[in-house]
Amino acid sequence: MTVFEYTIKDALGFHARPAGLFVKEMKRFSSEIAVCLGEKSVSGPRLIALMGLGIKCGDTIRVECSGSDEAEASAALKSFLEKNL
């Protein structure tokens, strides 16, 4: 499993637009991807569940990728977050 953490910098948090794009990015990979905030965790490209985590500016999320393309998935999602959130 490849894991990284990211602290949200966008003042508006993880709202619909970046969430939709993030889910689209997740779907490019076959690895199982989980997004965790504190005790809560969402697996897979599930838009509403991800938005339901209530991720806000300043929150640190943990992204866990496991599968054959986990390194690529992890790098792509980290880069997406740095550019968009």
Give the residue numbers annotated as catalytic, written as ranges: 15
Secondary-structure percent of the chain, ordered helix, strand, coil, rounded to 5: 35, 25, 35
Q: Which H or E element spans position 5?
A: strand 2-7
From residue 12 to residue 51, what is the string marking binding to other proteins with x (rule CB under 8 A)? xx-xxx-xxx-xx--------------------xxxx--x
Q: Is residue 49 classed as helix, strand or coil in its secondary structure?
A: helix
User: Does 76 participate in binding other proteins (rule CB under 8 A)?
Assistant: no
CA distances (Å), 60 to each of 55, 67, 68, in order? Answer: 8, 23, 26
Binding-site size, other proteins (CB under 8 A):
18
Of the pair 21, 76, the CB lying nearest other proteins is at 21
Of the pair 34, 47, the CB lying nearest other proteins is at 47
Residues at the site binding other proteins, with contacts judged by CB under 8 A: 12-13, 15-17, 19-21, 23-24, 45-48, 51-52, 54, 56
